[in-house]
Amino acid sequence: MRRAAAPVLLFALMGCQDKPNATPRPVASAAPSPTRREPAAFATLTPPPFASARPPQAKDAPPQAWDAGKSVCAPSRESIAPRAGFRPGTTAQTTRRSYTLKDDGVLESAPKGDAVGKRLARARPGTKIAATSFGERAEHDIVVFLADQKTSDGIMLQAFASIDGLPPTRISEDGAGATSVDVAPRDKSAIVAYVDARSVMVPVHARVVEEKDGKPSVGKDAVLFIGGAPDPNVAGVLATSATAAYYVLPIARDLTTFGMAIVQIDDPPHEDANVTWSMYPYGLDPAPIAATRGTTPIQVARAVPRAPGLNAPRGIELGRIQDDGAFHSLGLVADGNAASWVGLDADGTAASWVGDANVAAPRSLLLRYTDGPNLASLTLACPP
């Protein structure tokens, strides 16, 4: 039996070399690239099925440029300026406070309008923070961040939360690390979701955080979803409406396909949550994404690759999460050829990366994205 398996293994290693016109697979570098990387499996495969049309292509022809089509959302204002010192994820705001992560890892908190902040905690430099207001009258503030913690297994990156300036509480579960974290309001409490992309799997955790008697109360940790193909750049965002909550995560679905996992978050969060996929035409790393909070329907902006390859041009696609959890594309709204970050505001009230968009139904959307050295802003009016 062992000798019989050898030809099968040899064929698997050969991949598609038996096809005379097949494009050779690139060899992955042993050292991580400082720029965005694309798994080799995504570089030469015919794109998976996608909701929007793509040009037809011959069986062995090189993949052609993909286009989601012209968006139904009409732009009203657009501006492009040098991004200068703009660093997404290093600042966050709530209705009462602003938070800043300094270059040395010091996390500061200041009442809105004050220029001088007070040291709140120490986070890992270069990571991202998020914050929101919550409570019956949005009377509480919460900020979440990543920090190094000494454990029996050595130094581990874990997720923490601070409510109303109180000493931080660890949010990530015992034995679990965290490589990204996000927070959003839900009813009178807050949902915290975090991803641990350090090992062979990528578990997505969620739990409820409340304020009780002046102290943070942390609910049960639930593993919503376990993805594969771990990558330190894997990160998603929380997206909420008046009646639903999701964690939206761009990630490899398997060895050959890449998509956006829309993970449903029950109240309270349950294990093995329902997941709906929206596939990308090609792989993308990193895969910037943003979503609105408290709006119906939930709006999502994501960078998508328009062709295969490491430095392929990107576009910014806008869409909605429908009642059944499926993604409905509204088409491409911008050509962010080198987009590395995306932000979305509902009615211009608050940036989604801050997590404080408390409006019932957006009349307009403010899309922002980084494109190489520039920061672009685009105001969009979308049909109901």
Residue 24 counted as domain residue = no
For the segment 176-186, the average pLDDT, to the nearest whole number, is 94
Helix (H) and strand (E) counts in the chain: 2, 25
pLDDT digits (tens, 9 = 90+) for 270-293: 999 999 999 999 988 889 999 999
Distance CA 112, CA 131 (A): 13
Helix (H, G, I), strand (E, B) or coil at 5: helix
pLDDT of residue 49: 36
| Length reported for the chain | 384
DSSP one-letter string for 27-71: PPPSSPPSS----HHHHSSPPPP-SS------TTSPPPPP---B-
Domain extent at residue 237: 74-381
pLDDT digits (tens, 9 = 90+) for 338-383: 899 999 988 644 333 323 333 344 568 999 999 989 999 999 888 7
Residue 62 counted as domain residue = no
- In the structure, what pLDDT confidence band is assigned to residue 114 with cuts at 50, 70 and 90? confident
Residue 9 counted as domain residue = no
Residue 332 counted as domain residue = yes
Q: Do residues 93 and 100 make contact, with C-beta atoms less than 8 angstroms apart? A: no
Residue 302 counted as domain residue = yes
Q: Do residues 366 and 350 make contact, with C-beta atoms less than 8 angstroms apart? A: no
Residue 15 counted as domain residue = no
Q: How many domains does the chain have?
A: 1
Residue 121 counted as domain residue = yes
Residue 28 counted as domain residue = no
CA distances, 204 to each of 175, 181, 287, 324, 326 (Å):
14, 10, 17, 20, 19
- CB-based burial label for 110 (10 Å; 0-12, 13-18, 19+): middle
pLDDT score of 43 more than 60? no
pLDDT digits (tens, 9 = 90+) for 315-348: 999 999 999 999 999 999 988 888 999 999 886 4
Answer yes or no: pTM beyond 0.75: yes
pLDDT score of 142 more than 80? yes
376: domain CATH number?
2.120.10
pLDDT digits (tens, 9 = 90+) for 294-322: 888 999 999 999 888 878 889 999 999 99
